[in-house]
Amino acid sequence: MDHQCAHAPGRTALRGAGAVGSGAVLALATGCGVLSPGQNGDMPTNINVTSPLMQEGEPLLDDYTCDGGEPDGSEGHVSPPVRWSGLPDGVGSIALVVDDPQAAEVFWVVFDLDPELVELRRSTVPADAKQALNSSGDAGYGAPCPTDGDVHEYRFTVYALDGTLDLPDGAELSRTLEAIADQAVARGSLVTTSE
């Protein structure tokens, strides 16, 4: 499902000096910029993204927000399981971007996923995959922190890429999103909400 890009006036959740640049690249990579249909060619949106624990248009479970945590009670954010199907032929790698388009905040970027892979299990990243820095400056899943009464969408977007990104683990967010935008040949999203 493709969603319109919504931006809240005056609200930016990206931190640091690169916030404006990262916001622009986020728009680019997530389909709210030059990769939108009708610009630079149409990007197919036929990748089907699902989860056994998340439903399209429904609230993200507390387990996967900053209110959740590891099952053993230790500190840390728990990433939800995500599945995908319908990749085009000849894909070189897969990337996953989890973001809040309204706040221009990126919670997680996993890239260089094997194109034979069909899912990420709860709180796991394959050993050969890499994670970029998120908007908080951490390499890993930075869970959203919803505020009561302030409804946001959380997009789990899977990208089929021409090849691998040739970037290190912990790569800068804007650089990684730009590389994903440059190589993306198809995408699909599962969108949850904060309420």
Give the total number of structural domains in the chain: 1
pLDDT of residue 44: 84
Range(s) of the domain holding residue 187: 19-193
pLDDT of residue 75: 56
3-class secondary-structure state, position 3? coil
**How would residue 78 be classed by pLDDT, with cut points 50, 70 and 90?**
very high
Q: What angle do CA 113, 31, 89 make, to 5 degrees?
A: 45
The CA distance from 99 to 87, in Å, is 21
pLDDT of residue 76: 66
The CA distance from 116 to 167, in Å, is 20
Decide if 180 contacts 95 (C-beta within 8 A).
yes
pLDDT of residue 12: 32
Between 114 and 75, residue with greater pLDDT: 114
State what percent of residues in the chain have pLDDT above 70: 75
Q: Which amino acid, one-letter code, is at 112?
A: D
Side-chain-facing half-sphere of 59: CA atoms under 13 Å? 13
pLDDT of residue 147: 82
Mean pLDDT for the chain overall? 81
Cα separations (Å) of 50 from 100, 147, 162?
A: 18, 25, 22
Decide if 11 is inside a domain. Answer: no
**How would residue 9 be classed by pLDDT, with cut points 50, 70 and 90?**
very low
The CA distance from 50 to 107, in Å, is 18
Segment 98-106 shows an average pLDDT of 95
Segment 90-98 shows an average pLDDT of 97
Decide if 1 is inside a domain. Answer: no
Cα separations (Å) of 73 from 67, 88, 143, 144?
A: 12, 40, 16, 19
- The per-residue pLDDT for range 110-142, each reduced to its tens digit, is 999 999 999 999 999 999 999 999 999 999 999
Decide if 62 is inside a domain. Answer: yes
- The per-residue pLDDT for range 138-185, each reduced to its tens digit, is 999 999 998 888 899 999 999 999 999 999 999 999 999 999 999 999
Residues 6+ apart with CB under 8 A from 21: 174
The CA distance from 84 to 63, in Å, is 21
Report the CATH number at residue 168: 3.90.280.10
pLDDT of residue 146: 83
